Chains A and B, each alone.
Chain A
């Protein structure tokens, strides 16, 4: 493909549809996966596992999304139904009222990438339950009113509408005489005609089928819904004109708008003047905030033992910070999770064990000798090995079947650890999430991150949280403990069941204490008697003395039964935490389940174009893996590509670079690389090839934005970056 254009620029050639069809996907996904994969022998099973897990994640998130959107979509549907019904049953007031177009302003938040799914499910729901006539528009396809009209007509009538320009092209090709068919112009009049013919037809057919009369009435005039997906990006003038036109046809065409708003509803007023907004009957719908959405996603996908695949603290941190700092997009978060999943199964040969317990046992038996060696090399396994006695160590190092047996136990332990970890984490979160100043974080994901990093009970935050917990009032403490009991109750592991029983016992004791306290309010009296004494004395010194005594006695005072019980409860919680919330790194074989390469994830998801250009220019070895380019101490070898040499040389210059000096230096370096003397005949004449190569390198640097031409001196260029070597 070519263009006749001489101007510099990018040209995009989209592959034509025919070509796409011809090209069959000869290389399927699996071979992509196995290509360049470490430990290729188990790649098939790993690929299958990876795919299974991803499908599970996908369906889970889709269900979640549907559930979260259900509320808002339901209210929207109700709104559309209500609008279409009030239009029909007009009383005096609605006749008198200026006819307004019912409009739903749907505030979705700034996470624009997530909106697509919402709108998709919305239009599907509308199609099946309210009206078949739904058109959704995006701003970028509606630059002018004409285009907007065209899109609306196309989407509603499901047909190609003639556009003047396109038709012209066709006519040129066909050379047909007078156009035989009557063209449909892009106007709402055409849409009205289409709509009336459509409704007439459908009412005829429905009466033929003898449906119940109410159903016929409901479906006789289904509203025409137009969805503006990204209201902010629309040209206000176009939108205003479109609304003005629509309002003229409202009596014949039951129109309805849905505005997708990313920022705040006041944008509607900013974009539309009063004369236009008075034609709309706007109702507001607010969707769930994206942080809440993320919390539920993390709850369902990450804080559960049902997914064997786990992220370690750093990867989790990267994904969460991309979400919070950059895009607020849940879809991107899940994409990141997918990437981590894929990378894990691709790069970790032992990931074939990352599946459910029973399957893992089977996989374990099928491990090859190479895989077993890999197990022996795992750092976590080595740590485990060192704790064993010498005999055991030797056995494990040499005996493969014994190793398999031990690994079986270790895997079981890992599963158990996960089963207990999450309920205890939730318990701790319920206890600490309401404390003042949130020492262990407001969100459960923060607590999870702390627990993944280190032993949480050794951290200062944990200590302060425990101190605060030990000061809780009775009612608060009891309600929190009850919540914990609710968390623990459904868990089906032995230890958690034990813990649940213990917690219930504690709660019972609290209740008994309540009853006992009602019977005997005795402690208070003892406290009040020194106060009575106090009133008698008037001497300042005596007063001080008694106050000090009182203080002392209070400190030494026996703790009330409630306080004892409270301490007992806290010790119980502390014990749970110490037993179950140790970081996964301490568990042998954790590498099987945990993906830990945060750098890879960051590089893929949060690309840094400038640093990669810098890296490519200053150390070309990392892209062109050629041994001759290898160099220490950051210097560039003289065999490097021209642009690298030119870049290196330009770093040594100041703000303005003399082109001729630069050329000289360049040619010296290059001739040294070729093994020649810099200037063999001493004429000072430049080799033409070198000259051309230099000019190309310079213009490439200019294209990359390192230098630019300057008007200050004609034979100089200006540097656009600071610093040097």
Chain B
């Protein structure tokens, strides 16, 4: 193979193992290796690797680090709620826990640099140390000076250290206003279909032949490639559906080579998988069990949209929906008994020709909600405390959202957060014709 990695300073045997583990990523790995240089050489201060989800960024870096036994630490930025956690992890894995315990409470960047320097002077490194930051896009939300400092950490701590940032976003979205040290950019392109086929086929089940498995993968890709190119997802799906694919072979009905019959058997199953288990409508566990029972009538998560609500909550929600989607001017038309004949054209303003449903819900004050509620509900309702508490429980159920700030006790504002389908289902249960009250459907 042309992609066999060769680089001075590293053991050939190790490099061979690396390239075995990195199918279809030889070019990127080679590039990375040549950027890193020999272990004892100084590396470029910061590298920025970007590419889509599951394009092998972390995998390549981790395999290189592990197999070549380089001193490194891998930090996930999601996990680092505070920068203290980041500093602690770095110090912990480079210098042991006594270094990490030197960090004061809520350490600043300079604390980190000071301790790092102090430690490197005691234990100078013979090889380049690597700090690998996964999901680096979250560093943008951290304190302002963290990212620029990390980019030139080599300079700050005067040590042979290099920071590798991994992200799904391009570097242009990172650059801070104040300017910073530009890292070297390295792009990982998406896997092509052939590459996906090659990688997926590598993970075959040992009890079946390689040709058989790769024909299965071929069929799988034929169904799923148009909607999903995520390698991890595809691997997951391959594992879930393989037993079904093998069924006729195991029963002895079909030989391994009769691809067409196998395809006919598996294709509807895969199509169904695309609608259910791929969208996580049905859990993978249920999917596997369904194979056993052959029930087929498994309802997905989104099939359960029905919500039972108390009677007045239903009307409150209806009132909220009306308040959100009707202009306030038209309330008189809908809710005052003897409003006279007012045509829709009287209300129309030029910019309001677009449907309110396309514009989304608008905020409304509590008073308006209650006014509509009292006119919509068919019986006289006393303004009891439980009516008000129902409003707030609708907010916690996320059927309404509070728009104004929590602290504003005086006339809070809400938005209705349910769909037209949902509200029509609700109003059907209380015999309320909501369409008659909606300005858009006049």
A and B together in one complex: yes
* Bound Cα distance from A264 to B242, whole angstroms: 32
* Bound Cα distance from A281 to B285, whole angstroms: 7
| B residues near A325, Cβ cutoff 8 Å | 310-312
| B residues near A289, Cβ cutoff 8 Å | 308
Taking the complex as formed, is A327 at the interface, i.e. its CB lies under 8 A from any CB of chain B? yes
Of the candidates B105, B205, B240, B301, the one whose C-beta lies within 8 Å of that of A265 is: B301
| A residues near B284, Cβ cutoff 8 Å | 97, 100, 281
| A residues near B427, Cβ cutoff 8 Å | none
Q: How far is the CB of B322 from chain A (nearest CB, A)?
A: 20
Task: Give B283's nearest chain A residue, CB to CB.
Answer: A281
Taking the complex as formed, is B67 at the interface, i.e. its CB lies under 8 A from any CB of chain A? no
B390–A263 touching, CB < 8 Å: no
Of the candidates A149, A189, A607, the one whose C-beta lies within 8 Å of that of B385 is: A607
Q: How far is the CB of A334 from chain B (nearest CB, A)?
A: 17
Q: Which of A326-378 contact B (CB under 8 A)?
A: 326-328
Taking the complex as formed, is B140 at the interface, i.e. its CB lies under 8 A from any CB of chain A? no
B308–A269 touching, CB < 8 Å: no
Taking the complex as formed, is B330 at the interface, i.e. its CB lies under 8 A from any CB of chain A? no
- Stretch of A44-52, A105-113, A122-130, A627-635 lying at the B interface: A105-113
| A residues near B311, Cβ cutoff 8 Å | 324-325
Taking the complex as formed, is A560 at the interface, i.e. its CB lies under 8 A from any CB of chain B? no
Taking the complex as formed, is A567 at the interface, i.e. its CB lies under 8 A from any CB of chain B? no
Given A98-B235, A187-B79, A188-B79, A110 and B88 contact (CB-CB distance below 8 Å): no
B312–A97 touching, CB < 8 Å: no
A112–B308 touching, CB < 8 Å: no
Q: Which of B218-277 contact A (CB under 8 A)?
A: 232-233, 235-236, 238-240, 242-243
Task: Give B232's nearest chain A residue, CB to CB.
Answer: A98
| B residues near A504, Cβ cutoff 8 Å | none
A263–B236 touching, CB < 8 Å: no
Given A93-B242, A324-B310, A244 and B398 contact (CB-CB distance below 8 Å): no
* Bound Cα distance from A487 to B79, whole angstroms: 62
| A residues near B283, Cβ cutoff 8 Å | 100, 103, 280-283
| B residues near A83, Cβ cutoff 8 Å | 285
Chain A 265-299 near chain B by CB (<8 Å), digits 1 or 0: 11111000011011011111010011100000000
* Bound Cα distance from A105 to B97, whole angstroms: 40
Query: How many residues of B sit at the interface, in one of the four size bands?
Result: 35 or more
* Bound Cα distance from A146 to B106, whole angstroms: 14
Taking the complex as formed, is A114 at the interface, i.e. its CB lies under 8 A from any CB of chain B? no
Given A98-B232, A326-B312, A93 and B81 contact (CB-CB distance below 8 Å): no
Q: How far is the CB of A460 from chain B (nearest CB, A)?
A: 22
Chain B 96-133 near chain A by CB (<8 Å), digits 1 or 0: 01000100011000000000000000000000000000
A92–B97 touching, CB < 8 Å: no
Given A269-B301, A278-B233, A278-B280, A109 and B79 contact (CB-CB distance below 8 Å): no
* Bound Cα distance from A187 to B88, whole angstroms: 11
Task: Give A605's nearest chain B residue, CB to CB.
Answer: B386
Q: How far is the CB of B399 from chain A (nearest CB, A)?
A: 7
Q: How far is the CB of A655 from chain B (nearest CB, A)?
A: 15
Query: How many residues of A sit at the interface, in one of the four size bands?
Result: 35 or more
Of the candidates B85, B101, B305, B309, the one whose C-beta lies within 8 Å of that of A187 is: B85
* Bound Cα distance from A514 to B203, whole angstroms: 71
B242–A185 touching, CB < 8 Å: no
Taking the complex as formed, is B397 at the interface, i.e. its CB lies under 8 A from any CB of chain A? yes
A266–B280 touching, CB < 8 Å: no
Of the candidates B88, B312, B398, the one whose C-beta lies within 8 Å of that of A263 is: B398
* Bound Cα distance from A145 to B205, whole angstroms: 40
| B residues near A110, Cβ cutoff 8 Å | 307-310, 313, 393, 397
* Most-contacted residue by chain A among B82, B235, B386 (CB, 10 A): B386
| A residues near B387, Cβ cutoff 8 Å | 326
* Bound Cα distance from A248 to B77, whole angstroms: 12
Q: Which of B404-419 contact A (CB under 8 A)?
A: none
| A residues near B398, Cβ cutoff 8 Å | 232-233, 263, 267
* Bound Cα distance from A267 to B419, whole angstroms: 13
| A residues near B396, Cβ cutoff 8 Å | 112, 230, 232-233
Taking the complex as formed, is A542 at the interface, i.e. its CB lies under 8 A from any CB of chain B? no
Given A171-B105, A245-B76, A266-B305, A182 and B285 contact (CB-CB distance below 8 Å): no
* Bound Cα distance from A103 to B283, whole angstroms: 9
* Bound Cα distance from A269 to B309, whole angstroms: 21
Q: How far is the CB of A610 from chain B (nearest CB, A)?
A: 5
| B residues near A188, Cβ cutoff 8 Å | 79
| A residues near B207, Cβ cutoff 8 Å | 92
* Bound Cα distance from A164 to B382, whole angstroms: 49
B residues in contact (CB < 8 Å) with A: 53, 76, 78-79, 81-82, 84-85, 88-89, 97, 101, 105-106, 203, 205-207, 232-233, 235-236, 238-240, 242-243, 279-280, 283-286, 301-302, 304-313, 382-387, 390, 393, 396-399
In the complex, 15 of the A-B residue pairs with CB atoms within 8 angstroms, ordered by the A residue number, are A105-B301, A144-B81, A185-B84, A185-B88, A262-B397, A269-B302, A280-B280, A282-B280, A283-B285, A283-B286, A326-B310, A327-B310, A327-B386, A606-B384, A611-B383
A92-B239, A264-B305 are known; give 19 further A-B pairs, CB within 8 A: A96-B203, A97-B240, A97-B284, A98-B235, A109-B308, A110-B307, A112-B396, A146-B81, A179-B101, A241-B78, A263-B307, A274-B279, A278-B233, A278-B280, A283-B285, A325-B312, A326-B312, A608-B382, A608-B383
Closest 4 CB pairs of A and B: A96-B239, A98-B236, A326-B386, A97-B239
